[in-house]
Amino acid sequence: MEKTNGFLNALIRRRTRYALTNKSTIPDEEIIRTVQTSVRYAPSAFNSQGTRAVVLLGPRHAQFWRLTLDALRRVVPADKFAPTEKKITSFAAAYGTVLFFEDWTTVQSLQEKFPAYRDNFPLWAYQANVMAELAVWTAFNEAGLGASLQHYNPLVDEAVQKAFGVPYAWKMIAQMPFGVPYAPAEEKSFLPLDERVKVLGQ
């Protein structure tokens, strides 16, 4: 069914990968370039370019998952902490993590400039962010790096600002741990396409 072009094939191949090693198939420079290219070329409302990313490697990647675990320890009951710890430990075992943000000063200045769209700009900021996330996720996968998408914000926002010098105006949207996978992706089911895509006029 899905005989298509290179981009769509890459989209089909992208999956959530949780079983990750602390190895990479590509040099750090290529990881960084992948994130830079994705952030630069993903579209944004009014070409506002509010998406920001922080690439955490080596000790900084470990630091992020340590501070996430610390933050969770404060809110998850002790008797329920074991599965949480196991999950965070699995992310920490990966090669690196990309943190995705939106610069909220961009949202606010657009709201001032175009008051008619005031309520839309925060939504569009999230939508633009996810476009960059998908680009990184898909490109990583094509390079042999598995990744998953996590959301420990806003719980860890303050600790992240402090630990990594992230501007206060950068609103964290997602975290993407990545590395060489050591197990296949989990089974995935699909809803019938004719319930999801309607074609009219053909």
Ligand X SMILES: Cc1cc2nc3c(=O)[nH]c(=O)nc-3n(C[C@H](O)[C@H](O)[C@H](O)COP(=O)(O)O)c2cc1C
* Closer of 9 and 16 to ligand X (Cβ): 16
The torsion region of residue 23 among left (phi > 0), alpha (psi -120 to 50) and beta comes to beta
* Closer of 105 and 127 to ligand X (Cβ): 127
Task: Count CB neighbours of 54 within 10 A.
Answer: 19
* Closer of 80 and 188 to ligand X (Cβ): 188
Residue with nearest beta carbon to ligand X: 16
Provide the minimum distance between the beta carbon of 12 and ligand X in the complex, in angstroms, as a whole number: 10
Taking the chain, what is the end-to-end CA distance rounded to the nearest angstrom? 19
* Closer of 75 and 199 to ligand X (Cβ): 75
Q: Where are the beta strands (DSSP E) in the chain?
A: 51-57, 96-103, 146-147, 170-179
Residues that bind ligand X (CB under 6 A): 15-16, 130, 148-151, 185, 188
What would the two tokens of residue 173 be?
């949207």
Provide the minimum distance between the beta carbon of 41 and ligand X in the complex, in angstroms, as a whole number: 19
Provide the minimum distance between the beta carbon of 14 and ligand X in the complex, in angstroms, as a whole number: 7
Provide the minimum distance between the beta carbon of 148 and ligand X in the complex, in angstroms, as a whole number: 5
Rounded-to-integer distance, Cα 51 and Cα 37, Å: 12
